[in-house]
Amino acid sequence: MAEQALRRILRLPAVTDMVGLSRSSIYARIQAGTFPSPIKMGHSSGWIETEVQAWIERQIAATRESANN
């Protein structure tokens, strides 16, 4: 229950700032299945912050892993 209380929904400008990708790059990765999908909130969309953070962690791990090989 505590984990759910900490969840935040991020709008696209916050996501682009967080991951350093453009809007079109984010949506291309969503289509490719390599980036978290947004949730619908009426007429707008948002991303779950913990899902975006987990994606960032996977990118860091993949980069570190390939650098060590």
The tens digit of pLDDT for each residue in 8-39 reads 999 999 999 999 999 999 999 999 999 999 99
User: Rg of the chain over CA atoms, in angstroms?
Assistant: 13
Q: Residues 39, 45: contact at Cβ < 8 Å?
A: yes
C-alpha torsion 25→29→31→33, nearest 10: -170
Structure confidence at residue 65 (pLDDT): 81
Model's pTM, two decimal places? 0.84
State both tokens at 52: 């975006």
Structural domain span for residue 63: 2-67
Count of structural domains, the chain: 1
Which DSSP state fits 20?
-
Phi, psi torsion values for 24, nearest 5 degrees:
-65, -35
pLDDT (average), residues 39-45 = 95
